[in-house]
Copies of this chain bind each other. A is one copy, B any other.
Amino acid sequence: MTTQPNGQPDPLPSWNEGDAKQSIVDFVRRTTTEGSSEFVPLHERIALFDNDGTLWVEQPMYTQLAFVIADVKRLAPAHPEWQTNEPFRSVLEDDMAGVAASGAIGIMKLLGATQTGISTTEFAQAVSDWIESARHPRFKRPYTECVYQPMLELMRYLRANGFKTYIVTGGGTEFVRPWAPQTYGVPVEQIVGSSLKTTFEMRDGQPVLIRTPEIYLMDDGLGKPVGIHQFIGAQPIAAFGNSDGDLQMLEWTAAGGGARLILIVHHTDAEREYAYDTQTPFGRLDKALQTAKARGWTVVDMKRDWKTIFSE
């Protein structure tokens, strides 16, 4: 482990020295040093992390989409109407750009058509089974090992300094809950995501919640502040994202007085991971990057700022 000038172990060893790392360390020092004019009491130290593209890989497609595609193909023979209805048609023709064009709502439609009518418990089991067996097509390892080591260090560093870390994802809450606590050290009640409506029923004398095809919350873009306020209520002071779908979360976090850390991960490393921003079907980064530059938010250049990409 590298050490800092003061002899303490470096809490962010996978980050190269530079503006991004410095802005993180400065923010933590300013908000946690008693007597500092920007000191923040413990219960107000709330940090939000987007998931896809911020904590783990979102290329060549969102992981949850890989999960649902197999189900769509399996069920397609019973649904001839899918041959002409989007985004089903695109899935069946392996047209990922077409699927991407349908947006988060399109993905929720796929989910709604396949993974509903079952209980939340059954769905959690299906997710657990899949996440254990699936492998990323390029990196040939479980998706839960395609998470960014520098971001894991950042989460741990913040928690070690009294921050409560939340995941705020456009992906499904129920998709993330089964594996995120172990992968990120974030408990299930600190995962805010998109969701379908559920209904309470008694089955075999036991109460269950059944997943319906109706969308409850689209926790993406304009929906992220809605989810943040619904589930957390308090004002966050740090937020980490990587795409235009995170812009409103970042704006919401930046509002109000006091110290803030607003950070965008810019994917610039085609060799070790992927390089993309304005021209990608998943995780498009355009307006949020312009806003970051205009407002002086921290932008991570993955290639330059990260010593290592993936956790071992």
Chain A residues in the interface with B (C-beta under 8 A): 43, 120, 173, 177, 187-189, 191, 195, 197-200, 202, 206-207, 209, 216, 222-223, 225-226, 229-234, 248, 251-252, 255
Closest to A256 in B: B206
Check A222 against B251 for contact (C-beta < 8 Å). no
B residues near A233, Cβ cutoff 8 Å: 173, 177, 188-189, 191
Q: State how many copies of this chain the complex holds.
A: 2
Looking at chain A's contact residues, the main secondary structure is mixed
> How many whole Å from A250's CB to the nearest CB in chain B?
10
B residues near A255, Cβ cutoff 8 Å: 206-207
Check A209 against B189 for contact (C-beta < 8 Å). no
Chain B CB within 10 Å, residue with most, of A188, A199, A230, A231 = A230
A209 to B232, CA, bound (A): 14
> How many whole Å from A220's CB to the nearest CB in chain B?
11
> How many whole Å from A296's CB to the nearest CB in chain B?
16
> How many whole Å from A122's CB to the nearest CB in chain B?
13
Check B199 against A226 for contact (C-beta < 8 Å). yes
Closest to A250 in B: B207
A197 to B225, CA, bound (A): 12
Check A209 against B231 for contact (C-beta < 8 Å). no
Check B232 against A189 for contact (C-beta < 8 Å). yes
B residues near A209, Cβ cutoff 8 Å: 225-226, 229
B residues near A200, Cβ cutoff 8 Å: 222-223, 225-226, 248, 252
Check B120 against A229 for contact (C-beta < 8 Å). yes
Check B206 against A226 for contact (C-beta < 8 Å). no
B residues near A195, Cβ cutoff 8 Å: 230
